[in-house]
C-alpha cells in the first residue's frame, strides 16, 4: 500500500473513534476481503465490518453499539505462520531487510495461541519490528485491552497491555504523530490508561496536559469531567 493511502487509513481509523452517536438502526455491513500473507504467500479470506451501528463509547474509546465482531476483525492473523496485523499490513510491500526481520520473528510465533489478545500482541510486536507509527502499535494493544475489560481473572494481563498503550501513545505524542485535535485525545487516553492501571498521580498529570490543549474534541472535554474526579478518588474502574 502506498504511503499516502496508508496515512489516509490511519487518519480514518482515528477519526472513527469520534463517531459517538448512532448512525441509525441498521445491521452491520460485513464483507470478505482476500489477502495474501507476506511471509508465506498463504491466501487468506478475512471478514471485515464496513458499517456499524454505534451509540456511544467507553472512555478508553471502545465504541459501544451493535458491534458484532468489529474489534475481533481489526487485527488479523495468518492461520499458517501467525503473521499478524491490520489488513493493510497484509498488503504492504516490505523492504527486503524488514521482511527478513519479520520472517525471523514470525518463526518464533508457531506455539503462540491464536486467541484475540495474542493476535493483537503479535501484531503489536510485528508493527514495532517494521517501525510502524507508534499510534498504530498503541492501537493494537488498546484493542487487546478491550477484550479483557470484563475479565477480572486476567486483570494483570490487561494492565500489561494498557502499559504498552501508554508507552506507544506517549511516543506518538513525542514524535508528533497527530493531527490538530488528536494530541489532546492521545494525552487523555494515556492519562486514562494510567488511571486504569492504578497510577493516579500520572493519570492526573496527563489529564491536565490534555485539558491544557486548546484544540480538543468535545468528547475529551466530557471525558475529562467524568474521569478526573475518579482519579482523585483513586478509582481504577476499568468497566466504564
Interface ranges with Zn ion (CB under 5 A)? 37, 39-40, 42, 78, 80-81, 83
Between 72 and 76, name the residue whose CB sits nearer to Zn ion.
Answer: 76
Q: Which of 25, 61, 33, 40 is nearest to 138 (CA)?
A: 61
Between 43 and 214, name the residue whose CB sits nearer to Zn ion.
Answer: 43
The answer to whether the Cα torsion of 151, 233, 229, 164 is positive or negative is negative
Q: Min. distance of Cβ 8 from Zn ion in angstroms?
A: 26
Between 81 and 102, name the residue whose CB sits nearer to Zn ion.
Answer: 81
Helix (H) or strand (E) holding 47: strand 43-51
Question: Grid coordinates standing for 168?
Answer: 506507544
Question: Grid coordinates standing for 24?
Answer: 441509525
Number of H helices, E strands in the chain: 9, 6
Long-range contacts of 84-88 (CB under 8 A, 24+ apart): 84/119, 84/120, 84/122, 84/123, 84/126, 85/123, 85/126, 85/127, 86/9, 86/123, 86/136, 86/140, 87/33, 87/35, 87/46, 87/48, 88/1, 88/6, 88/9
Between 1 and 202, name the residue whose CB sits nearer to Zn ion.
Answer: 1
Q: Min. distance of Cβ 111 from Zn ion in angstroms?
A: 15
Between 40 and 225, name the residue whose CB sits nearer to Zn ion.
Answer: 40
Q: Min. distance of Cβ 93 from Zn ion in angstroms?
A: 16
- 110 CB contacts (<8 Å, ≥6 apart)? 81, 82
- 46 CB contacts (<8 Å, ≥6 apart)? 32, 33, 34, 35, 73, 76, 87
With cell 500473507, the residue in question is: 37
Between 82 and 159, name the residue whose CB sits nearer to Zn ion.
Answer: 82
Helix (H) or strand (E) holding 56: strand 53-57
Amino acid at each position: 500500500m502506498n504511503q499516502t493511502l496508508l496515512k489516509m487509513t490511519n487518519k480514518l481509523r482515528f477519526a472513527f473513534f469520534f463517531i459517538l452517536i448512532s448512525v441509525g438502526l441498521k445491521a452491520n455491513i460485513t464483507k470478505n476481503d482476500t489477502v495474501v500473507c507476506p511471509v508465506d504467500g498463504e491466501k487468506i479470506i478475512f471478514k471485515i465490518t464496513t458499517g456499524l451501528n454505534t451509540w456511544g463509547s467507553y472512555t478508553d474509546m471502545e465504541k459501544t453499539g451493535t458491534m458484532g465482531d468489529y474489534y475481533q476483525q481489526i487485527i488479523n492473523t495468518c492461520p499458517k505462520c501467525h503473521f499478524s496485523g491490520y489488513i493493510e499490513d497484509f498488503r504492504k510491500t516490505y523492504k527486503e531487510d524488514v521482511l527478513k526481520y519479520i520472517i525471523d520473528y514470525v518463526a518464533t510465533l508457531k506455539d503462540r495461541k491464536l486467541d484475540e489478545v495474542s493476535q493483537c500482541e503479535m501484531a503489536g510486536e510485528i508493527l514495532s519490528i517494521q517501525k510502524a507509527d507508534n499510534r498504530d502499535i498503541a492501537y493494537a494493544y488498546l484493542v487487546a485491552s478491550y477484550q479483557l475489560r470484563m475479565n477480572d481473572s486476567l486483570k494483570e494481563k490487561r494492565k500489561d497491555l494498557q502499559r504498552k498503550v501508554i508507552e506507544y501513545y506517549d511516543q506518538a505524542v513525542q514524535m508528533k504523530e497527530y493531527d490538530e485535535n488528536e494530541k489532546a485525545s492521545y494525552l487523555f487516553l494515556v492519562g486514562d490508561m494510567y488511571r486504569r492501571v492504578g497510577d493516579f498521580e500520572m493519570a492526573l498529570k496527563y489529564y491536565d496536559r490534555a485539558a491544557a490543549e486548546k484544540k480538543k474534541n468535545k468528547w475529551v472535554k466530557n471525558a475529562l469531567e467524568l474521569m478526573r474526579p475518579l482519579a482523585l478518588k483513586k478509582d481504577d474502574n476499568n468497566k466504564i
